[in-house]
Structure 1
Amino acid sequence: MSIIESIRTFLLTCPLLEGGVMHVNYLEHEPVQFTIDEVPGDPIVKRYTDGSTVRQALFVIASSEFYSRDAIENLKACGFYEQLADWIERQNDSGNLPELAQGLSPLSIETMTNGYCIYTDIQQNVQRYQVQCRLLYLKEN
């Protein structure tokens, strides 16, 4: 199982995403759907003398949301991402981490930013929100 597939499987256990459509590196314009998008970055965080490495998988969790000029409607998306970050933090603190392939040991999962809007299509009444995250893991030599 790939790292991104492990992350997707893990996130699908989140009650907030129950019943939602979860894509990978693809997000339809139609609300409400989700994607996990891989983010470029240096995969190696630390090297050990035995050849083992601590690595990171950088990704964003994004969604297409309904856009409205009504502040209450837009606050719902903000609240969702706060709840999602809290859920990820609770899973991390309790040691409930994504299951990885043999030779890879998960160390932590965390959000790196608050959820934020990066795109608004006023004509389609759609916004894209996202939160940046990372999974740290040990790759044994």
Structure 2
Amino acid sequence: MIDELRDYIRSCPLINKKKKLYIDYLGTDTGEYTIDIMPGESIVKKYADGGSLRKLVFVFGSKEYYGSDIRTNIENSGFYDKFQRWIEEQNEIGNLPNIENVQSVNCVTCGYLFNTDGADKARYQIQMEMIYYKGV
């Protein structure tokens, strides 16, 4: 399931295909990406047939240059605004990860600066969730 989610995120035209997209790891190079799985309750609703509606909570993040240059910081935030709009558009047209019974992928937060790495690099991220049905 994670591999399919990774392929889906990588299909976003905003993602630099020359940069790596890791799982639960973010390198030190700028422009690299990660999908980090978050802890939490996965069952949203249980059904009488034994199936359940579930969610996978994750963070999509990247390492970017940042600092006192306002233009750079605006571009970093702008990337996440555009990424969020792309996710919303994909839901509207039904273009979802190639995962059985997936119902939606949503951005739970807007993109934000999570932490800094020295004087010129920062991790930006956006919290997301994937909703899917798991049968018996």
Q: TM-score, normalised by structure 1?
A: 0.92
Cα shift readout 1:35-86 (whole Å, capped 9, x = no counterpart) = 0000001010000000010000110000000012111111111000000000
> Unaligned regions of 5+ residues in structure 1, if any?
none
- Equivalent position amino acid for 1:52 in 2: G
Which residue does the alignment assign to 1:68?
67
Which residue does the alignment assign to 1:12?
10
**The residue matched to 1:15 in structure 2 has which SS?**
coil
Which residue does the alignment assign to 2:128?
133
Superposition pairs of residues 1-141 of structure 1, within 5 angstroms:
3-19=1-17, 20-100=19-99, 104-123=100-119, 125-141=120-136
Instruction: State the alpha-carbon separation in 2 of the partners of residues 60 and 40 from structure 1.
Output: 11
Instruction: State the alpha-carbon separation in 2 of the partners of residues 121 and 42 from structure 1.
Output: 31
How big is the alpha-carbon RMSD for the aligned residues of Structure 1 and Structure 2? 1.0
> Unaligned regions of 5+ residues in structure 2, if any?
none
**Residue 122 of structure 1: CA displacement?**
3.5
Instruction: State the alpha-carbon separation in 1 of the partners of residues 117 and 61 from structure 2.
Output: 15
Q: How many matched pairs?
A: 135
**The residue matched to 2:101 in structure 1 has which SS?**
strand
The answer to whether the 8 Å contact 1:63/1:128 transfers is yes
**Residue 32 of structure 1: CA displacement?**
1.2
The runs of at least 4 consecutive aligned structure 1 residues that moved more than 4 Å come to none
**Residue 18 of structure 1: CA displacement?**
3.5
Q: TM-score, normalised by structure 2?
A: 0.95
**Residue 6 of structure 1: CA displacement?**
1.4
**Residue 138 of structure 1: CA displacement?**
0.4
